[in-house]
Structure 1
Amino acid sequence: MSYVEADALTAEVVAEYLRDNPDFFQDRKELVDRLAINNVEQGAVSLVEVQLKRQRQRIEELEEEITSLMSLAANNDKTFYEFMALQDQVLKCRDFMQVIKAVEQKATELGLKAYVRILSQSGFYQLSDEGYAKFSLNHLNGKDAYLGRLRKTDRQDLFGEQSAPELGSYVVLPLAKQSPIGLLAFSSEDGGHFQPYMDTLFLRHLALVVAHMAETLPWQNDNEPRAQHTSSQ
């Protein structure tokens, strides 16, 4: 065995021993003070300094995580009440056009745009079977929601000729019971508003309620004026 191989083996034995005995330096503080680690920015620094720096960095990371979580909790709290109120309103609707209007109105209040598309419908609110199947295969694939940007072909498949933000962000949720019914989607002009990591709990619950109403309500009561789709255009 060469000296190089022996040194490498010895170093590995020492490293393994230190991993198995993390308190080795507890009673050898003079040794800790003598150990030095080369640092590009600071030159040679002691092991204690390295540990303190890492601890400070970790504390800063934790503080940032806590700040982010608090911000998320505050936003979620606001979102929770907004969508709870919307669900209550949706459950009082007498036909599905009222449901669509309620969803669109709430989206407008939140600075968003809403899209409700139904597979069994024709006209403005129609969802193409082929287009939805392609989108589901490419983006949903068993997931509860899609969040992020949409390509032009995806926007056309889902929303037809309705104007949709080219550089915006989207959340798309399937509407389904025993079988697919359609989709519920929201868009923002802000390309970073809907991100893949976001929690969609409230929106998924809203989608369940909307799907239930789509199955149980008539499309539009005959004694009401014919609905216009002004808020979604």
Structure 2
Amino acid sequence: MSEYDNAIEISEDQVGDYLRTHPDFFHQRDDLLLKMQIPHQRGEAISLVERQVNVLRERNLEMRQRLNHLLDVARDNDRLFDKTRRLVLALLEARHLDDVVSATEESLRNDFQVPYCELILFSDKALNTHGRVTSVADASQKLAELLRNNRAVSGLLRDSELNFLFPGQRKEIGSSAVVPLQFSGRVLGVLAIASPDEQQYRSSVGTLFLSYVGDVLSRLLPGHIDTQG
């Protein structure tokens, strides 16, 4: 009779559970470590120690890649914060409506490198600005869905919406983002940005920055618009 005839059958999961709860099992069993071999992807057999070294090296590389990604994100956020700070300060220093429009458009085009940007104001009276002004009725008709949501959206907009927001540039636009400018139930306008790159403003891309700029404009514009005419 073999010494294994009366042995209790042990599953691979049980062996794995035991080794996980007893990580020092091989501490005094160097002879077992030398005998154990694990198939390599190339078909060669390597020792358990070599396999552990390889696993640790792979995990170390993965952690370094994650850390580098986090550092890149942190640097991007620092640059975004600095650009946003400069824009907000310029808007706070604006003395006239035209200054608000200029500060917004120049910052988006030069600092943020936005290929296409439109700050469209809604008003039924003439406004003293070089910026684009349209009637509330016309805007409500052309951008009904966007204004109804009252939040920033990004991705692929309808052709009719793009034609209104970026007249004559529809064929050049791959993706866009737009935020309504509303305050105390009053529709003041919209801020729209776009890019030829279809992935630049995907629907999954966060619109936190655009919403923030929109909030600042929504609180500043009434004071400039109401003092005209």
Counterpart in 2 of 1:57? 58
TM-score by length of 1: 0.67
**TM-score, length-normalised on structure 2?**
0.68
Asked if the contact 1:145/1:174 (under 8 Å) is kept, the reply is yes
Instruction: Considering Cα pairs closer than 8 Å and 6+ residues apart, tell me whether 1 or 2 has the greater RCO.
Output: 1
SS at match of 2:106: helix
Cα offset, 1:218, TM superposition: 0.8
Please tell me whether the aligned partners of residues 121 and 134 of structure 2 are also in contact (alpha carbons under 8 angstroms).
Answer: no
Larger Rg computed on CA atoms: 2
CA contact (8 A) 2:123 2:134 kept: no
Q: Report whether the alignment pairs 1:116 with 2:113.
A: no
Does 2:144 match 1:130?
Answer: yes
* 1:77/1:52 CA distance change after superposition, 3 Å: same
Change (3 A) 1:51 1:200: farther
1:211 maps to a residue whose letter is: S
Cα distance, 1:214 vs. partner? 2.8
Task: Look up the SS of the partner of 1:37 in the other structure.
Answer: strand
Q: Is the 8 A contact 2:120 2:191 kept in 1?
A: yes
Q: Distance in 1 between matches of 2:22 and 2:192?
A: 55
Structure 1 contact 174–180 (Cα < 8 Å) conserved? no
Work out whether 1:213 is the aligned partner of 2:220.
yes
Query: How large is the RMSD of aligned CA atoms in angstroms?
Result: 3.7
Q: Distance in 2 between matches of 1:217 and 1:71?
A: 39
**1:95·1:219 contact (CA, 8 Å) conserved in 2?**
no
Q: 163, 170, 174: which is aligned to 2:169? A: 163
Counterpart contact for 2:122–2:135, Cα < 8 Å: no
Q: Tell me, what secondary structure is at the counterpart of 2:87?
A: helix
- How many Å separate the matches in 2 of 1:33 and 1:207? 66
State the alpha-carbon separation in 2 of the partners of residues 208 and 82 from structure 1: 16
| Cα distance in structure 2, aligned partners of 1:45 and 1:77 | 46
Q: Distance in 2 between matches of 1:120 and 1:104?
A: 19
Alignment: residue pair count:
208
Report the Cα offset of residue 167 of structure 1: 5.4
Give, as a single letter, the amino acid of the residue that structure 2 aligns with 1:69: L
Residue 123 of structure 1 aligns with an amino acid whose one-letter code is T
CA distance in 1, matches of 2:37, 2:60: 23
Stretches of structure 2 lacking an aligned partner (at least 5 in a row): 1-7, 125-132
Where 1:24 maps in the other structure, the secondary structure is: coil
Counterpart for residue 229 of structure 1? none
Q: Distance in 2 between matches of 1:154 and 1:38?
A: 61
In structure 1, list runs of 5 or more residues that go unmatched: 1-5, 223-233
Within the alignment, does 1:188 sit opposite 2:195 as a pair?
Answer: yes
Q: Which amino acid aligns with 2:118?
A: Y
Once residues 54 and 143 of structure 2 are traced to their aligned partners in structure 1, the CA distance between those partners, rounded to angstroms, is: 57
Which amino acid is the alignment partner of residue 221 of structure 2? A
1:41 aligns with 2:38: no
Alpha-carbon separation, structure 2, partners of 1:32 and 1:155: 68
Identity of aligned residues (%): 24
Cα deviation, residue 41, structure 1: 1.7
Distance (whole Å) between structure 2 residues aligned to residue 109 and residue 199 of structure 1? 21
| Distance in 2 separating the partners of 1:155 and 1:33 | 70
Q: Deviations over 1:180-202 (max 9, x none)?
A: 74543333344454567767655
Q: CA deviation at 1:160?
A: 5.5
